[in-house]
Structure 1
Amino acid sequence: MFDILWRSIAIGIGATVLMDLWAILYGRLSGEGLPNWAPVGRWFYHLKNGKVFHDSIAEAAPYEGELALGWIGHYAVGILYGILLIVFTGPGWLDAPTFLPAWIWGIVTVAAGWFLLQPGLGIGWAASKTPNPTKVRILNLVAHTVFALGMYGTALILR
């Protein structure tokens, strides 16, 4: 059981690292800069008060450790997704990983961003309040595909 848990956790971490490397590469090549996890940290911080949806997370009271909390939350969610992948596929997937289940799960997890995090930050359902929602949605799908590749690749390394 412990073997399954640690590999599930490692899969979530490996996938999140690959997704972050993709974000760094994309940010540098596109000139759009690096991801800022501080607003997500602020969002996580305000969850303790039962506040899930904000008109604008920038208008919510700041929290001194929000950048660190954003990074911690980002990796905690990645770990949770790694664990849930194994819950849904079964531990046999760890011994014979295939890309399709990881990719399906990676795409399914976009829903949490579109219907919980993004409206929670005040940028609308599926980034509908951003200047270019279609671009954001496509980038979300690409990032979660990279995340799926990270889950699959990490599983291959660990089997």
Structure 2
Amino acid sequence: MSDTVEFLVRAVLIGAGATIVMDVWAVVLKRGFGVPAPDFALVGRWIGHMPSGRFVHDSIRRAPPVRSEAAIGWGAHYLIGVLFAALLLAIMGLDWARHPTLAPALIVGVATVAAPFLVMQPGMGAGIASSKTPNPTAARLRSLATHAVFGIGLYVSAVVVAWAMA
């Protein structure tokens, strides 16, 4: 297999795996502690308004629904996970993917919290780093924890993929 194909296969598998780990974390928080799970239909609504030139909303909940917003949101959620895994592989190289270590995955996972803090939350009306939410500190900590779990998921998924592709 060429390095390019190997890179793509590993990015898809590691990114999807890490995103699944993050989604399992959300289920545990919801069932065990009553923490609301992210509503990816709202992400789909936000993305669905972009082709008409609307990138920023006062409140994405009050924006008109778009067709297939749940599918768009969930698809974007997994695509972004794959892209973040590809970023990790681009930084660390295939040798890291063949012999994964925790620190790079955790660092990239935590760093990815910049995307919702600086792009998604402001665009959806929550302000920079959830500044317009009722409890910004709790929202920020929840996002940070979720992205740390994503980083752990990057590592765990990379270990599984390395084992499977050995």
TM-score normalised per structure 2: 0.92
Matched, 1:59 2:58: no
Q: Show the 5 A alignment for 1:108-127.
A: 108-127=111-130
| 1:135 Cα deviation from its structure 2 partner | 0.6
Matched, 1:105 2:108: yes
Matched, 1:129 2:132: yes
Distance 2:121 2:38 in 1: 14
Deviations 1:98-143 (A, max 9, x none): 1111111111110010010001110110001111111111111111
Deviates most, 1-10 or 13-22 = 1-10
Matched with 2:20 is 17
| Structure 2: runs of 5+ lacking an equivalent | none
| 1:28 Cα deviation from its structure 2 partner | 1.2
1:150 to 145, 149, 153: 153
Deviations 1:69-121 (A, max 9, x none): 11111111111111111011111111111111111111111001001000111
Distance 1:123 1:33 in 2: 16
Distance 1:103 1:110 in 2: 12
TM-score normalised per structure 1: 0.95
Distance 1:24 1:12 in 2: 19
Matched, 1:27 2:4: no
Distance 2:76 2:142 in 1: 20
Decide whether the 8 Å contact of 1:10 with 1:154 is kept in 2. yes
Matched with 2:75 is 72
Q: Secondary structure, in 3 states, of the residue corresponding to 1:48?
A: helix
4+ aligned runs moved over 4 Å, structure 1: none
Count residues in correspondence.
159
Distance 1:158 1:39 in 2: 31
| 1:64 Cα deviation from its structure 2 partner | 2.5
Aligned residue type for 2:99: A
| 1:39 Cα deviation from its structure 2 partner | 0.8
Deviates most, 51-60 or 98-107 = 51-60
Aligned residue type for 2:156: G
Identical aligned pairs, as a percentage? 44
| Structure 1: runs of 5+ lacking an equivalent | none
CA RMSD of aligned residues (A): 1.1
| 1:56 Cα deviation from its structure 2 partner | 1.0
